[in-house]
Structure 1
Amino acid sequence: MSDSVNANTVLAPIATSVLTHIVRSIVDTPDAVKVESLDDEGKIILEVRVADGDLGRVIGRRGRTAQSIRAVVRAAASRDNAEVDVDFLDD
């Protein structure tokens, strides 16, 4: 799992780990999942990159899957004492 998460995981390690696990379990190409954490003025942005064909699976109908993933990751981020936002990008 560490190969898909960049070196900045110290920003929100629990949230990043939860996000990586959830997204990898949804997509058809789990090895293509990459999570990068960025600091944006005290808020941590977790950017998720997936293979081209997997973005629709992660976003879901009307964005419901993406909203659910964001809610779970925000809850996990509370264990990190961090405020996070999740962005989904295709590779």
Structure 2
Amino acid sequence: MIELIETIVKPLVDYPEDVKVSETEDDRKITYNLTVHKDDVGKVIGKQGRVAKAIRAVVYAAANNESKRINLEIM
């Protein structure tokens, strides 16, 4: 899943080397924390959060067969 998130985000940003995804897991959910360069935050979020919603939709669809809830947070 980390590779999927990186594959989606890296073409969107000016500093792809600064894209970092970490995973935190507990009993009921898996949280992916996406960190990008400070100049690229707006590109990842998009106007009115449309890009972020699209990224989350793809990640949630890919993780549909997981028994745990998936969260994607943009730091």
Gaps of 5+ in 1: 1-14
Query: What is the RMSD of the two structures over their aligned residues, measured on CA atoms?
Result: 1.2
Segment drifting more, 16-25 vs 44-53:
16-25
Number of positions where the alignment pairs a residue of Structure 1 with one of Structure 2: 74
- Percent identity of paired positions between Structure 1 and Structure 2: 38
Aligned equivalents of 1:21 and 1:76: distance in 2? 13
Residue 26 of structure 1 aligns to which amino acid in structure 2?
L
In the TM superposition, 1:1-91 aligns within 5 A as 15-79=1-65, 81=66, 82-89=68-75
Aligned equivalents of 2:35 and 2:16: distance in 1? 11
SS at match of 2:14: coil
Deviations 1:6-57 (A, max 9, x none): xxxxxxxxx2221111011111100000000001432100000000100000
Aligned equivalents of 2:21 and 2:31: distance in 1? 10
Residue 32 of structure 1 aligns to which amino acid in structure 2?
D
Name the structure where helix makes up a greater proportion of residues.
1
Residue 29 of structure 2 aligns to which amino acid in structure 1?
K
Aligned equivalents of 1:21 and 1:72: distance in 2? 12
